[in-house]
Structure 1
Amino acid sequence: MKTKIIPIIVLFVMQFSFGQEKVKDTLATATDKVFIEQNKLREKEEILKTEQKQEKERQKELDKAEKDKKIAEREKKKAEKELKKIEKEKAQREKAVARVEKAKERIKDAKKDLEKDKEKFEKLKRKEKLSAEDELKWREKLLKQENKFLELQLDLEKAQHKLDKLD
């Protein structure tokens, strides 16, 4: 009987010792698991906060980029408007210069025609080939040409004044 009791006692002692270790290990493991899960939660929270912070920074950068883009667009429109204004002024100046040149050419032609007709009139008058009516017609024609010449000079002065205004 002693031989049967000793192995049974040893068996109970072993079971009891293993049982306590398991309980002890289970408690330690459970608390470790809780700590590990808490650490994981903290890490996840930190990662989430970091991601949120990065997202806010990205949004700020996007907003700044959008603002810079709008400013650049405004500057571009302003530059285009200024360029159009300069081109318009250049075109106006070129037109004014062309008008002045055209007026000078017209005056030159009118003066040439007037001188030519005056010489013709004087020539006919010297040769006494003009009747009283023809002489009146010639004088009327010469006066009309002189008036045209004076009007062309006035147009030249106006065109020159406009050109001077643009400068």
Structure 2
Amino acid sequence: ELTRLEAFANSAPYFMTESGYVSGGTNATAEQLKSSAVDKYTAYLTKVVEHLESEYGVSFDTIDPFNEPNTNYWKTTIDSSTGSVSGSQEGMHVSPTMQQTVIASLASKLGDSSTTTKAKIAAMDETNPATFVTDWSAYSDSAKSSVEQLNTHAYSSGDRLQVRDYAKT
């Protein structure tokens, strides 16, 4: 039986990304979310969750706007001779600075009186605890206070105890 649900996105829709692709840009470490699209992106996330809750009667506990954001995995390659495009998986690079901007916008959307979901913010589903620590250490107190649940993957094991300690505070 499911007792907790989380909504997450691997990437913003293509029209909200700098590259126009959901599999990253041609530079895997360049900011992918358009700064002009931050509020549109968080409105999109909120509306999708509200629709699923209203249409299907489910309740989401959290919304995580990122998936492994501060990594160099998300790259789209364009073959110069054929123009063919390849990207192995959807994802977008989002720096810790931009992550905080997104979190502030999402917190504002979720706090709006017209918002029907009770979901809280989870972040940032980083690829490993060490990268999570890097991102979290860069967050302001305001950004940290907007995050209800800390998420990380554990593809490598360094800094697990540090993440645990952050979660305790």
Normalising by structure 1, what TM-score? 0.19
Which protein is richer in strand relative to its size? Answer: 2
Higher helix residue share = 1
Which is bigger in relative contact order (C-alpha 8 A, separation at least 6)?
Answer: 1
